[in-house]
Chains A and B, each alone.
Chain A
């Protein structure tokens, strides 16, 4: 399991002339172990799709090397890289039925007819497309085409499975069910998968590690839990997490045994120095201005907290989103019960030091998470 399945080294991608064209991917370095599921996450234009297309071989690499299962592939044609890919759009062979499309991927493996049928049947069951196996691509919906394309990619044996927005066109209910099944399928077979998505729910649900990209730069490459708990910078912190992280600009001051953050509207958050490690205190004292971040589900209500006023109270069935006017901005809280708060009602807001993320106000780099240094 410890072999490297994919290794990307110092890769740059320019559209147009090298060094002068559009710099879509900047100095990308990434290692993926065999059996891992990786999500490339970012908004449109962040470089995630260019990266995937370079791995697949549909886009030439401007600089750097890409190795799949230990051999350099950046100059090889796509068919010679031994990677399977599921496309976002419509990529099925029109003259073949869905069954033939999926089975087509097994042609090279030279399996017996029975084995092929069995494999197609099982993947079709997983993706809930059994009833359309005999149909032609032109007569099925976009969501069904996408699932067929996914099936064609997953059924193959390959060093790497590339999935480009594999569930973008599916209705949300089906998407939720398929996520669990696909993860199980990939894990059971020990496949290595790279998934491109702009949907963080999907990335969180499927991936062992998430590569967050923005502006062609890899911002952070870590487990979903680490990205959530220890975001490397303000971008990752506010991009990943739903509802998004609450952020407030603050000035730092330290007195005897206290650490204080001054927010707008004269709000002061004071903590005993012992709530932070020495290193964190030192790092904080070196700066005047920082950005404080806290996840909506880490914000607590408590009578002795700082007062905010309820502006919005939205119950969503299994949770409640509360937005309160706080320190010149909005503080969002998530609670798992239905809370009946009146608009305008004052509430006490407590920010536990252990849930605070502190970022440098200039570079945006994380300084500390809770009591630990970033």
Chain B
């Protein structure tokens, strides 16, 4: 099991800093997803690990060995590219075999290796085709086969499902974990799709502006986002973000929604009067009876069915938009006035000025204690 360590990597293009003192530790056999919006530096980072781009500063260690100055062909890496990067003048067979021909293996060994991996990826019937004659899905599988065929201990997958249609993407999302587990390789997987990130990653590193903003398991990222931006990037529909100023109530802090009080359990005086942003995941909001405790009145503007769930757009009394999602087929209002129930314990609170999440006081003090 090969480990990967990046130490204080810096990469600049002209005056622009693309990677800014970035460090990362990946355990052997781990599947790490690099997630972030375009331009966050994920692709550059992947190429840097592969050795086709050199860092301006910092070290790349693969399996504990310093590979910073080692050429790409000697790093023992497999890589699949977003645009497939197939060799257009070679057949699918030769494309896949290219990762074996450099090793001076015998023709039979190469053929056996290619056939094994192409059978696994269900492309053994198109091996004689040139890339031009392959469908998008077949191209994608050929590119994947080329990355896998040499059983490299470190696999770099650069958004490999980006350019295939939704159905194929879903099928590959189910298939990939099995395929990768069978390889036993350490995997760095780049994607812009949060579902892919959550489905495939043992851990997710969220990147922005050349830095890693948060790294953790899918549950940690989803349930404890470090800042507004990360909360916004995970979840469909997007998390509701409402500007609020918490006030002091008889039983702790609260915020006002449609002039009703929403209690924020666990938060104390430190947030009172502070400019904050309240984050409410659409699936944590439920429709409620008007009479029920703490029900917040809204006006339903539109209802949009999204496959397995139904999303409702509501307006608060002050005209703020709130998205509510519920499993499809469950009852809910279609238009006009309605009430929603929000559990303050599932709400996130962010500092409006910095965008960082404010932890509930008891959690915060626990963290501080640990730090000390």
Chain A 273-300 residues near chain B, CB threshold 8 A:
296-297
**A225 / chain B contacts, CB cutoff of 8 Å:** 305
Note all chain A residues with C-beta closer than 8 A to B269: none
Given A184-B301, A317-B234, residue A205 in contact with residue B306 (CB < 8 A): yes
A205 to B307, CA, bound (A): 9
Q: Which of A172, A180, A241, A332 contacts B323 (CB 8 A)?
A: A180
A219–B230 Cα distance when bound, in Å, is 40
Let me know if A43 is at the binding interface, CB within 8 A.
Answer: yes
A243 to B199, CA, bound (A): 13
CA distance A239 to B283 in the complex (A): 26
Total number of A-B contacts with CB less than 8 angstroms? 110
- Contact of B327 (CB < 8 Å), options: A173, A180, A184, A336: A336
B170: contacting residue among A239, A244, A318, CB under 8 A:
A244
Q: Chain A interface: which of B16-24, B64-72, B90-98, B235-243? A: B235-243
Known: A244-B167, A318-B235, A321-B199. Is A180-B304 also a contact (CB below 8 A)? yes
CA distance A206 to B311 in the complex (A): 12
Could you tell me if B308 and A297 are in contact, using CB atoms closer than 8 angstroms?
yes
Q: Which residues of B contact A332 (CB under 8 A)?
A: 174
Chain A residues with CB under 8 A of B323: 176-177, 180
Residue B233 is within 8 A (CB to CB) of chain A in the complex: yes
Q: Which of A304-328 contact B (CB under 8 A)?
A: 311-312, 314-319, 321, 323
Interface hits, A206-248 → B, CB 8 Å: 206, 224-225, 228, 238-239, 241-244
A332 to B283, CA, bound (A): 22
A72 close to chain B: CB less than 8 A: no
Q: Which residues of the partner chain B approach A239 to less than 8 Å between Cβ atoms?
A: 167
Contact B308 A176 (CB under 8 A): no
| B152 interfacial by beta-carbon distance below 8 Å | no
User: Closest CB of chain A to B339's CB: distance in Å?
Assistant: 19
Indicate which residue in B237, B283, B305 contacts A176 across the interface (CB closer than 8 Å): B237
B267 CB, nearest partner CB in chain A, Å: 23
Q: Does B178 contact A (CB under 8 A)?
A: yes
Q: Which residue of A lies closest to B167 (CB)?
A: A244
Q: Which residues of B contact A296 (CB under 8 A)?
A: 308
Q: Mark B298-310, 1 if CB is under 8 A from A, else 0.
A: 0001101111110
**B165: CB under 8 A from chain A?**
yes
Give the residues from 135 to 175 in chain A that come closer than 8 angstroms, CB to CB, to chain B: 171-173
- Partner among B167, B174, B307 whose Cβ is within 8 Å of the Cβ of A204: B307
B298 to chain A, nearest CB (A): 13
Contact with A along B309-353 (1 / 0, CB 8 A): 101010000000101010110000000000000000000000000
Taken residue by residue from 339 to 351, chain A's Cβ proximity to chain B (1 for < 8 Å, 0 otherwise) reads as 0000000000000
B162-197, CB < 8 A from A: 165-167, 170-171, 173-174, 177-178, 194-195
Cβ–Cβ contact B167 & A180, under 8 A: no
A172 CB, min distance to chain B CBs, angstroms? 7
Closest chain B CB from A180 CB (angstroms)? 4
Nearest to A179 among chain B residues (CB) is: B304
User: Is there an interface contact between B238 and A177, defined as CB atoms closer than 8 Å?
Assistant: yes
Residues on A with beta carbons closer than 8 Å to the beta carbon of B160: none
In the complex the two chains form, what is the Cα distance from A165 to B166 in whole Å? 16
Are the C-beta atoms of A314 and B304 separated by less than 8 Å? no
A239 CA / B321 CA spacing, docked (Å): 32
Asked if residues A243 and B306 are in contact (CB atoms below 8 Å), the reply is no
Contact: A316 with B311, CB < 8 Å? no
Whole-angstrom distance between the alpha carbons of A162 and B304 in the complex?
20
Task: Specify which of B166, B178, B238, B301 is in contact with A242 (CB 8 Å cutoff).
Answer: B166
- Is A205 in contact with B305, judged by CB distance below 8 angstroms? yes
Asked, given contacts A243-B170, A311-B178, whether A316 binds B195 with beta carbons under 8 Å apart, the answer is yes
Task: Tell me which residues across on chain B come within 8 A of A201, comparing CB atoms.
Answer: 306-307
Q: Which residue of B lies closest to A200 (CB)?
A: B166
A334 at the interface (CB under 8 A from B): yes
Compute how far the CA of A181 lies from the CA of B314 in the bound complex, rounded to whole angstroms. Answer: 11
The residue in chain B whose Cβ has the minimal distance to the Cβ of A238 is B167
The reply on A183 being an interface residue by CB < 8 A is: yes
Distance between A238 CB and nearest chain B CB, rounded to angstroms: 7
Q: Report if A204-B313 is in contact (Cβ < 8 Å); known contacts: A177-B238, A238-B167.
A: no
Q: Which has the most chain B C-beta neighbours within 10 Å: A241, A242, A311, A318?
A: A318
- Listed from nearest, the 9 A-B pairs whose CB atoms lie closest are A314-B199, A180-B313, A205-B304, A318-B283, A297-B308, A173-B238, A317-B222, A176-B237, A323-B174
Listed by A's residue number, 24 A-B pairs whose Cβ atoms lie within 8 Å are A177-B323, A180-B301, A180-B311, A180-B321, A199-B166, A200-B166, A204-B304, A204-B307, A205-B311, A224-B305, A225-B305, A243-B170, A297-B328, A311-B178, A314-B174, A315-B199, A316-B198, A316-B199, A317-B222, A317-B234, A317-B281, A318-B235, A318-B282, A334-B308
15 further A-B contacts with Cβ under 8 Å, apart from A311-B178, A336-B308, are A176-B323, A177-B323, A200-B166, A204-B306, A206-B304, A296-B308, A315-B218, A317-B218, A317-B234, A317-B281, A318-B235, A318-B236, A318-B281, A319-B308, A321-B174
B: which residues have CB within 8 A of A?
37, 165-167, 170-171, 173-174, 177-178, 194-195, 198-200, 218-219, 222, 232-238, 281-283, 301-302, 304-309, 311, 313, 321, 323, 325, 327-328
